Structure 1
């Protein structure tokens, strides 16, 4: 086996020499530390070194090298030297460096240190900026212009690296720059955690769920509009919203203002995967109105728990799951389209039972974490 460094903005907390990460990243590290002799984790610290909503991770062959706390790419720029020093520290000690894009300075290992590098494109900063509903056109242009130097360096580094992308759409975009990438479907679903679908729950008219960041690019405005439509149609519904983000207070204000607190349950971030899966399995439909994605893991997770998914045709989903077969799509910003699908479910849920059964089998056969990580880290 070889040694590897992981360069990622994973927001790690550290107390008494022990590190704490999100449960998702713990799953990744568990795999990596069992397949490499030595693993160096070069990752950003969490704010105030907090370990709230994080999981303890231990491995004898893991060494953590902390990077500064950052809140955005712009915030990271003045700290570029810290990244360079950290990479320089491990450069001669590892055979391979894995970099996540668009995390800051993912171009450094390949360009500055000429290291054997895996570059994993998990999202698209430019696309996410264009779809930020809260920013004006001018601010979007300024933000994109400020990011372009890093983006150009990232593309140059990708030409010298093995490249994976979360979805075919990112592979196609990179191919325009002469970069050959391999599309993968990001997953945190273990084979052992797959839940064979049961009969759909019928305790209220409709039980909906969303899991993800509470931010504009995730289509939270569409969730608000959908709740208003359900309320206006006198549909008895419960909508569990799991996640946190900069739009959380606005969503909370909307729920209170529209007297929806008995219908919309804001859970905040849930780090306990068993608890999250339990809520998933009580739901009838997983609603995913996102505007910008790579390969959304939460959709895979919902399917793995036997929940039918209705979603925008975002990221890798249209090239992975077929509309009307394993998923149902509605247009971006289209709460009425989502409502129409929900009304179809209320009228006849049998097609949705067939849909979720097919999706469950697809995840079981193709999209487990074992399949995903073995592809990315088999270098």
Structure 2
């Protein structure tokens, strides 16, 4: 059956001076899968003429047409673009059988409510939840921001009631159930079946220092304060460690300042954003432990990536993780903001690596058998 689909997303494409479009490696892999499944794809995405394209991949699929949306700097800024969104969605609606709408990207409700289109609504996160966990904002600012989000949120709920809904994790599905919305939880993944290598790293015979790695946004809701406290404690307790931090975000300068002020530059290495997936996976594979202190998530893909490389994961019980993995069986959990608890687990690893090897082996098998990008996208786009 030939089906045309529109993807309404904020994937931040880059357009160069020659008119070529580039996209992150992760989303390029999504397009690769979808291009073989649908006859025609209209990629409706935020697009910028600025920014580097060196780590991105060119969009060259013959059945994908790019429809530009203006770049946005946040929720409030997006509201000023509502007319543009309306005109773009209106122009594409007659050409497609189906919309894929990524929530909470701006105006994900519009195809269903304004144009009565059949939609796949994919809740990848929760803006209100992330706002509540923003440590930088005061209680009053959080309340004001949430009040501002609510009109869009309620429209999204109305659209979801009449469409197929998927959620990144069971916790979002549970919240939607309060609105009588039936949804299907999925585990988001960027790992292809082709990248698995059963020759897993030899953690037992690795020499010191213990190599930790964090991959993700450098922002408050990702638990970066906890990460900084942990680095300081590891140093104060004379643990021989190295901490690779990969990512960018609003706290990056704060993190740089912290590393400098605490004389940690020889132990804590800030890489910024790495979009080369092969290089990133190799860096994860060379580590001993993957550390993830996030406060708010859907189903964190980087955890799946770490497990696919045979690295034990030390994380908060965030998002879909507690309903997908089991503490001390295939993952290790510590409480939110509990850097002392995380420190204790790292000391366990230092003294008894064999138990962590058994844990990572089980996690690797679970991810390989259940949580690939093919399984993930095949479920969401099973039309």
Regarding TM over 0.5, the answer is: yes
- Which of 296, 316, 324 is the matching residue for 2:320? 316
Q: Does the CA contact (< 8 Å) of 1:205 and 1:346 recur in 2?
A: no
1:354 is paired with a residue of what secondary structure? Answer: helix
Question: How far does residue 357 in structure 1 lie from its aligned partner after superposition?
Answer: 0.2
Q: Hey, what does 1:248 align to over in structure 2?
A: 252
SS at match of 2:264: coil
Write the distance in 2 (CA, Å) between the matches of 1:312 and 1:52: 33
Task: Provide the rounded CA distance (Å) in 2 between the counterparts of 1:116 and 1:226.
Answer: 47
Q: Does the alignment pair 1:339 with 2:349? A: no
Match of residue 45 from structure 1:
47
User: How many angstroms does 1:47 deviate by?
Assistant: 6.4
Tell me the alpha carbon deviations over residues 175-231 of structure 1, each in whole angstroms, 9 at most, x when there is no partner. 000100000000000011113213116232310000000100000111100000000
Distance 1:139 1:52, change over 3 A: farther
Residue by residue over 1:6-53, the C-alpha shift from the partner in whole angstroms, topping out at 9 and shown as x without a partner, is 000110001223211111111111111111111000001136265354
1:348 aligns with 2:352: yes
RMSD: 1.0
Alignment of 1:1-379 (within 5 A): 1-15=2-16, 16-46=18-48, 48=50, 50-196=52-198, 197-200=200-203, 202-379=206-383
1:79-105 deviation per Cα after TM superposition (whole angstroms, max 9, x unaligned): 101111111111000010000000000
How far apart are 1:160 and its partner, in Å? 1.0
Q: Which runs of 4+ in 1 moved over 3 A?
A: none
**Contact between 1:167 and 1:183, CA under 8 Å: does it hold in 2?**
yes
Aligned length: 379
Structure 2: gaps spanning 5 or more residues: none
Q: 1:328 to 1:47 in 2, by over 3 A?
A: farther
TM-score by structure 2 length?
0.97
Counterparts of 1:213 and 1:204 in 2: how far apart (Å)? 27
2:7 and 2:43 in contact (8 A); partners too = yes
Contact persistence 1:208–1:286 (CA under 8 A): yes
The answer on whether the counterparts of 2:274 and 2:280 sit within 8 Å (CA) in structure 1 is yes
- TM-score calculated relative to the size of structure 1: 0.98
Query: How far 1:142 sits from its partner (Å)?
Result: 0.3
